[in-house]
């Protein structure tokens, strides 16, 4: 049911930290929409690291990625009039599919502004879930401007891919599931695009009062969180480039960054050449067909850069990968 939403432009903690009750209510609201994804054992990683390692299988969500959690949470909390007018977003693919899926579940229209050269699997995914695809240039910044202009002209409400309090709250339910199922977890590794999922994990860790090492993992060609932490605030990069196409925003979110900054333990950068090997391990060891963005956490563990001291969970954030690309990267 649609309802009131926190004011856009203020992070979830603006009126104090997110309570555990609020987080569990958000999780309850996602029942029947998002899947409570499994934790999948990773024998190769366990053998290499000497600690229990599990993979949070967000590739098993109905849209093939964790994004459904935040997108549906944000859309479902819109006022009735805004919901009826339809929603719009800008996305490289996974968030767009999630917005289309959530909008259809709530009976409204969704428009998704995508990169000019978006992977066909993600374009078709948006359309399959009932979304209308429009193209808005090569960067997240150009697509954001295009979506905001369309929203102003056509009356849509913008559902940002990460920088929105309800989106962050929805993503936090992924962290809640991990912390509920692995109460002794020592380390959680999370892919970093704009920081919505990572901020959500930080919100969950804070709400449950856990002493967990939260590690952000980003491509070496898109080090927006690394640069932000060094500078003490979001920094806009001139360009980003990686085969991990879901992790290429030019800057970490204005709302996500302070949440992350308060909780994160470290950030790891993964070179593109390490990602195919991680995809291969996920496929042959665990039967997981991960997209490059979803494999970066495994790549970080395989590199030996991080040495967890206890039970570890790596989030596999998505599995929407073009079949030809997957075959070329994994079977070449």
Asked if 238 contacts 185 with a C-beta cutoff of 8 angstroms, the reply is no
Cα gap 253→25, rounded to integer Å: 25
pLDDT of residue 15: 41
- C-alpha span between 92 and 108 (Å, rounded): 21
Residue 191's H or E segment, with its range, is: strand 187-191
Average pLDDT over residues 259-286: 96
**What is the arithmetic mean of pLDDT over 297-319?**
96
| 2-6, 40-44, 209-213, 305-309: the lowest-pLDDT one | 2-6
Q: What is the pLDDT of residue 5?
A: 39
In order of 77, 192, 309, 331, the CA distances from 6 in angstroms are 9, 24, 38, 47
Of 71, 88, 83, the C-alpha closest to 149 is: 88
Query: Which positions ≥6 away from 291 have C-beta within 8 Å?
Result: 59, 65, 244, 245, 246, 318, 319, 320, 321
Mean predicted confidence (pLDDT) in 243-250: 92
**pLDDT band for position 271 (cuts 50, 70, 90):** very high
Band (pLDDT 50/70/90 cuts) for residue 7 is very low
Residue pair 178/39 in contact (Cβ under 8 Å)? The answer is: yes
Q: What angle do CA 35, 41, 45 make, to 5 degrees?
A: 130
Distance CA 61, CA 69 (A): 9
Residue 60 has pLDDT above 90, yes or no: yes
Give the number of other CB atoms < 10 A from CB of residue 62: 16
Lowest mean pLDDT among 128-137, 189-198, 319-328: 319-328
Flag whether pLDDT at 266 surpasses 80: yes
- Give 16's pLDDT tier (boundaries 50, 70, 90): low
Cα–Cα distances in Å, from 182 out to 56, 107, 177, 187?
11, 36, 8, 11
How many Cβ atoms are within 10 Å of 10's Cβ, its own excluded?
A: 11
* pLDDT at site 332: 60
Buried b (16+ CB within 10 A) or exposed e, 253-268: bebbbebbbebbeebb
Name residue, tokens 């919100």: 203
Per-residue model confidence (pLDDT) at position 2: 40
Distances (CA, A) of 171 to 201, 204, 308, 315: 7, 9, 24, 12
- Above 80 in pLDDT, residue 11? no
Per-residue pLDDT tens digits for 161-170: 999 999 999 9
Whether residue 192 is predicted with pLDDT greater than 80 in this model: the reply is yes
Sign of the Cα torsion 173, 288, 319, 235 reads: positive
pTM of the predicted model as reported, rounded to 2 decimal places:
0.92
**Which pLDDT score, from 0 to 100, does residue 328 have?**
86
């Amino acid at each position: 049911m649609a309802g009131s939403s926190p004011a856009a432009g203020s992070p979830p903690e603006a009126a104090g930290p997110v309570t555990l009750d609020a987080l569990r209510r958000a999780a309850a609201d996602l029942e029947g929409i998002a899947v409570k994804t499994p934790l999948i054992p990773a024998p190769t990683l366990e053998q290499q690291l000497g600690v229990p390692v599990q993979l949070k299988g967000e590739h098993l969500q109905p849209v093939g990625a964790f994004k459904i959690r935040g997108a549906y949470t944000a859309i479902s909390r819109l006022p009735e009039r805004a919901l009826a007018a339809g929603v719009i977003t800008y996305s490289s693919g996974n968030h767009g599919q999630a917005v289309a899926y959530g909008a259809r579940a709530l009976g409204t229209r969704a428009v998704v502004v995508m990169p000019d050269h978006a992977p066909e699997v993600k374009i078709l995914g948006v359309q399959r879930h009932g979304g209308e695809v429009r193209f808005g240039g090569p960067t997240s910044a150009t697509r954001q401007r295009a979506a905001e202009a369309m929203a102003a002209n056509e009356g849509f409400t913008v559902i940002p891919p990460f920088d929105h309090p309800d989106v962050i709250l929805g993503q936090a339910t992924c962290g809640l599931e991990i912390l509920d199922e692995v109460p002794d977890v020592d380390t959680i590794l999370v892919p970093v695009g704009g920081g919505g999922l990572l901020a959500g994990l930080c919100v969950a860790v804070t709400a449950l009062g856990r002493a967990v090492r939260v590690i952000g993992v980003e491509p070496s060609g898109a080090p927006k969180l690394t640069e932000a932490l060094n500078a003490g605030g979001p920094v806009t990069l001139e360009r980003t480039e990686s085969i991990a196409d879901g992790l290429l925003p030019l800057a970490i979110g204005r709302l996500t960054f302070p949440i992350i900054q308060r909780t994160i333990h470290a950030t790891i950068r993964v070179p593109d050449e390490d990602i195919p090997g991680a995809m291969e391990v996920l496929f042959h060891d665990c039967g997981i067909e991960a997209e490059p963005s979803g494999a970066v956490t495994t790549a970080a563990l395989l590199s030996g850069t991080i040495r967890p001291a206890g039970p570890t969970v790596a989030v596999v954030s998505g599995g929407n990968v073009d079949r030809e690309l997957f075959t070329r990267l994994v079977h070449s």
